[in-house]
Amino acid sequence: MKSYSKMLAALFAVLTTCGIMTRSADRDPYQPLKLYDGTWQVRMAGADKRPDTLVDHSGRTGIFFSCQQQLNGETRALVIFLPTGATSPGALEYRTLVARPDSMKRDDWEHLVIEGGRGFSPCVSAC
């Protein structure tokens, strides 16, 4: 699992760099992130096995941009991006948050209870 995380992080770095290099003039902070949406055949460096299939379902929701990542059909992470600005040479900066479906520790996720049609009740620290 750690090797896949490193591979996904490296792919994001490469795609973001490519997007920034080709789109820095229009200054749309979401444009480079749109490169993540799609399907790739990827192979770990030095791997002697068949390539893995990486699928990113990405899109913008309000001020956030998110990518759900699947590796060989298994959902591995939801990465949320929030544009924060640009550096003086023109590189774009983002805050990121990664949520994994296997995060079972209490501090990893908030909790929400929905009761019928009467609304919802967020349960933060008391749950």
Task: Answer with the residue of higher pLDDT: 21 or 39.
Answer: 39
The pTM of the full predicted model, rounded to 2 decimals, is: 0.64
Distance, first Cα to last Cα, the chain:
29
* AA identity, residue 80: I
Summarize pLDDT for 64-120 with one digit per residue, the tens: 999 999 999 999 999 999 999 888 787 899 999 998 888 666 666 676 666 766 555
Question: Domains of the chain: which residue ranges?
Answer: 2-102
